[in-house]
Amino acid sequence: MRFSILQLICSLALTALPVTSYAKLNVVATTPDLASIAKEIGGDRIDVTTLAKPTEDPHFVDAKPSFIVKLNHADLLIEGGAELEIGWLPALLDQSRNPKIAPGAPGHVACAQGVALMEVPTSLDRSRGDIHAAGNPHYLVDPVNAKIVAQHMANAFCAQDEKDCPAYRANLKKFNEAIDAKLADWERILAPFKGQQVAAYHNSWLYFGNRFGLTIDLFLEPKPGVPPTPTHLAEVITKMRQDKVHVIIVDPYLNRRTAETVAEKTGATVVDVSQFPGGIKGTEGGYVPLIDRVVNAIARALGQSH
Ligand SMILES: [Zn+2]
């Protein structure tokens, strides 16, 4: 009798096992680029919720009440950090009352850690209206930084789900290999344009330019987050004519019409780019197709501008 009860307990335990072993990690990512990389590393072992839309400004995300519920249920929060989400995420985090993902907790992954941030000011001053007060937070448009981010994710997933760690590590290796394989292509495609200057609406392509040898340092915004003024645009137009700048890149959430006006006056081409998979056509497939698309679009526009 005793033996059969033991058997019963054992069989019940075995039946219960699959439920726990298939429980997925509940991951919330602030932006679609982070979500896309998380999916590559986590595969079907994680459920990913993305807060920002691919066509939304990552500095100013429309914080919906549903986000609080999602954050409350999360095992892990993945954010870009470097103050990218400072305007909308802290209040949501407070309201979510989830200690697992509070800043500093193991479930809170700030991906900027270990990234060599550029344009970090020597003194912090938000009074000037610059939303890049802690340095430029758009580091993920450099594919080499994507590998750092992917590493953070693999580490975080392993810490929460030890038994699936080999799978996360294998996915990380695959992701890194995909980046390395394409990086050589991307460098080759942009090599003929080394040193050329490109104008941008917002200063979100600094790290991309740095990686591929383009100078992307002329902006339609007078300061990051400050809308263009007629005076500033007149200066930009003069500089573009002087320095023979033929391409203006614009993220989908910015005012394309303004860029078109400047392009009409300078003979430049407006190129749609996105930091986020799904932000422009043909980039829905993930991070690698996104960078591929942007590299080719910029190369095409620069190639036509002679
Ligand atoms: Zn920005």
- Long-range CB contacts for residues 233-238, cutoff 8 Å, separation at least 24: 233/258, 233/261, 233/262, 236/199, 236/262, 237/262, 237/265, 237/266
CB 34 within 8 A of CB 275: no
Please name which of 187, 207, 183, 177 lies closest in space to residue 275, comparing C-alpha atoms. Answer: 207
- Distance between Cα 228 and ligand 1 center (Å): 14
- Distance between Cα 275 and ligand 1 center (Å): 11
Helix boundaries (H) for the chain? 2-21, 32-42, 65-72, 89-96, 143-160, 165-190, 206-212, 230-243, 256-266, 287-304
Q: What mean pLDDT, rounded, does the chain reach?
A: 93
- Distance between Cα 85 and ligand 1 center (Å): 10
Residue 106: predicted pLDDT: 94
CA 57 to chain CA mean position, Å? 11
Residue 130: predicted pLDDT: 81
CB 213 within 8 A of CB 190: yes
- pTM for the model: 0.91
Residue 17: predicted pLDDT: 47
Q: Which residues of 127-165 are buried (b: 16+ CB within 10 A; e: fewer)?
A: eeebbbbbbbbbbbbbbebbbbbbbbbbbbbbebbeebe
- Distance between Cα 98 and ligand 1 center (Å): 28
In the chain (306 residues long), the average pLDDT of successive 10-residue segments reads 50 47 88 98 98 98 96 98 96 97 96 96 72 94 98 98 97 98 98 98 98 98 95 98 98 98 98 98 96 98 85
- Kindly report the number of other CB atoms within 10 A of residue 263's CB atom: 21
Residue 52: predicted pLDDT: 98
- Distance between Cα 136 and ligand 1 center (Å): 7
Question: Please, is 64 exposed, middle or buried when counting C-beta atoms within 10 Å of its C-beta (0-12, 13-18, 19+)?
Answer: exposed
Residue 227: predicted pLDDT: 95
- Distance between Cα 306 and ligand 1 center (Å): 30
- Distance between Cα 62 and ligand 1 center (Å): 16
- Distance between Cα 130 and ligand 1 center (Å): 9
- Distance between Cα 2 and ligand 1 center (Å): 68
CA triplet 257, 271, 31: central angle to 5 degrees?
A: 90
Residue 306: predicted pLDDT: 55
Residue 80: predicted pLDDT: 98
- Distance between Cα 81 and ligand 1 center (Å): 12
- Given CA atoms 271, 274, 278, 282 in this order, what sign does their dihedral have? positive
Question: Please, is 104 exposed, middle or buried when counting C-beta atoms within 10 Å of its C-beta (0-12, 13-18, 19+)?
Answer: exposed
Per-residue pLDDT reduced to its tens digit, 202-245: 999 999 999 999 999 999 999 999 999 999 999 999 999 999 99
Residue 23: predicted pLDDT: 87
Residue 18: predicted pLDDT: 44
- Distance between Cα 247 and ligand 1 center (Å): 19
Residue 4, C-beta contacts closer than 8 angstroms, at least 6 positions apart: none
Please name which of 13, 15, 20 lies closest in space to residue 161, comparing C-alpha atoms. Answer: 20
Separation CA 186–CA 49 (nearest Å): 30
Residue 86, C-beta contacts closer than 8 angstroms, at least 6 positions apart: none
Please name which of 232, 233, 293, 296 lies closest in space to residue 260, comparing C-alpha atoms. Answer: 233
Residue 122: predicted pLDDT: 82
Residue 4: predicted pLDDT: 55
Neighbouring-strand partners of residue 172: none
CB 151 within 8 A of CB 112: no
- Distance between Cα 127 and ligand 1 center (Å): 16
